Structure 1
């Protein structure tokens, strides 16, 4: 029963996460007290000319990143929905989807870095990537801490 309650809370928790933090606004605001865009702008500290060149590239990046985040949410929800009956085939499917998501995220960031390097210079583009990776790792750690490892709930049931 405890296992079922945990899985239900995980499913509902992921749904709430998907609704309230798809673009990580709440988490970033909780961590930094400001929006992601404000954190990025403050950290980069661009001139007006650089900021004008940066903004459309950043906006496009964020739109594409948010679409990718929707895929990640679906993977997490699928995991939660199948946790208690996870088969080899489903585990392989979920792992492949997660790895593809990670690759697609890295490709998007690399593509954006290339555009930013031309628009605002190599150092500022590197600063953006450094900050973005930091934010992604922080968010991924929060998500990872919220979901059980495969079989983890089965082990707690035996004790």
Structure 2
């Protein structure tokens, strides 16, 4: 079953490069019944002045985060294409790319947090970071659930 889900997820990833934001929106809507922007706005419940200061920072963050997400999709596609014949060199390359993606995502969130502290205050900025991390962990867990560990699908493969 997991093999079928993995194949479907890779097929999805191959077609998803242009659809990342739509797929994330659909996943969040499936999980929470609303769009990510609605979830964020409802959770933060900012005053009109705070919302006006928040929105351009949030829009810039989402644009940069979605661009980073494209990198993650490429990593997943590469993993799917090379899963059956994964070499030490390819495993190292993919792991390095994935670690860099994670670092870049954290740097983007930290940079955004600094801007939000100035714009909407420390508590609201912390609430945003907390919610964003929760949403990203939830999305990552959904993806991770269908991606097999190295060697998982071929138990006879020598390690």
Tell me, yes or no, if the aligned pair for 1:7 and 1:83 is still in contact at 8 Å: no
**What CA deviation, in whole Å up to 9, does each residue of 1:24-80 have, x standing for no partner?**
111001001110000000000000000000000000000000000000000000000
How far is the alpha carbon of 1:5 from its aligned partner?
Answer: 6.7
RMSD: 2.2
Q: Hey, what's the Cα distance between the residues in 2 that align with 1:29 and 1:9?
A: 21
How far is the alpha carbon of 1:9 from its aligned partner?
Answer: 3.4
**What CA deviation, in whole Å up to 9, does each residue of 1:115-139 have, x standing for no partner?**
0000000000000000000000000
Q: Hey, what's the Cα distance between the residues in 2 that align with 1:78 and 1:120?
A: 40
Q: How does 1:15-54 map to 2 (within 5 A)?
A: 15-22=14-21, 24-54=24-54
Could you say what secondary structure the match of 1:38 adopts? helix
Gaps of 5+ in 1: none
Tell me, yes or no, if the aligned pair for 2:3 and 2:153 is still in contact at 8 Å: no
Which TM-score applies when normalising by structure 2? 0.90
Structure 1 runs (4+) deviating above 3 angstroms are: 2-10, 16-23
Partner in structure 2 of residue 94 of structure 1:
94
Cα 1:53/1:77, change in 2 over 3 Å: same
Tell me, yes or no, if the aligned pair for 2:20 and 2:66 is still in contact at 8 Å: no
Cα 1:43/1:94, change in 2 over 3 Å: same
Q: Hey, what's the Cα distance between the residues in 2 that align with 1:39 and 1:74?
A: 27
How far is the alpha carbon of 1:7 from its aligned partner?
Answer: 6.2
Q: Which has the higher contact order (CA 8 A, sep 6+)?
A: 2
Could you say what secondary structure the match of 1:81 adopts? helix
Q: Hey, what's the Cα distance between the residues in 2 that align with 1:119 and 1:3?
A: 45
How many residues are matched?
156
Which TM-score applies when normalising by structure 1? 0.90
**What CA deviation, in whole Å up to 9, does each residue of 1:74-132 have, x standing for no partner?**
00000000000000000000000000000000000000000000000000000000000
Partner in structure 1 of residue 12 of structure 2:
13
